Amino acid sequence: MSRVLAVAGRELIIREDHRLDSEAGCVVWDAGLCLVYYLDHAASLVAGKRVIELGCGPGAVGCTAAALGAESVVLTDLPHLLPLVRSNIEANPLGGVATAAALAWGDPVGHLQPPFDLVLASDVLYQAEALPLFVQTLAALSSPRTLTVLCNEHRPALPFPWQLFRAAGFEVRQVPLSEQHPEWSSEDIHLFHIRLACNTSDGGDS
């Protein structure tokens, strides 16, 4: 099964692999779609930037960033998902801008050459035990100029870990619905801008 995403004045074809029906990373979830169309709605956040996506799944968000004019995009997930990611990069084709790389949260990130201008993630905060590793990895990929855009479905059983981010030195802003895509947004899906708290003089997009 494939999804057709109308972004950047073109169509992206993102294949999902439902043979991995027990694998969360095989499909594009609603939070991923909201992030895709938020980026299309706010393309200045992406254009000309070095971008990395965490927990990319099939790669819809990272492929969107590449189509919107990012300088480079690294789509990361666990090794067994990379063939699906690479097939979507090649199908569109975005190979001149986008690449896929294995990354487990908490592992070293030096081979990815951080820091990045923009970090993207969608619906990755759903296991409590993974939250500290995600925040650790985010810190390792970031500088004071890095913006992280995180889109996550609201889960009452696992509230957003505000204190965990703050303890790691991040400032978190929840983006109101009025600033999101007028059609691709939901009260049940929350969008956040995250920056290191020491970033007090950067005049870039926020």
Quote the distance between the C-alpha of residue 40 and its chain's center. Answer: 13
Strand 10-15 to strand 147-153: parallel, antiparallel, or no bridges (unpaired)? unpaired
Spell out the domains of the chain, with CATH numbers in brackets.
2-196 (3.40.50.150)
| pLDDT tens column, 77-122 | 999 999 999 999 999 999 899 999 999 999 999 999 999 999 999 9
Token pair in block for residue 175? 């983006």
At 38, the amino acid letter reads Y
| pLDDT tens column, 52-65 | 999 999 999 999 99
Whether the full predicted model's pTM is greater than 0.85, yes or no, is yes
CA distance 122 to 30: 9
- The fraction of the chain above a pLDDT of 70, given in percent, is 93
Per residue in 153-180, is it b (16+ CB within 10 Å) or e — as a string?
beeeeeebbeebbeebebebeebeeeeb
With H, G, I as helix, E, B as strand and everything else as coil, classify residue 18.
Answer: helix
Residue whose structure tokens are 């569109």: 92
Please state, rounded to an integer, the average pLDDT across all residues of the chain: 92
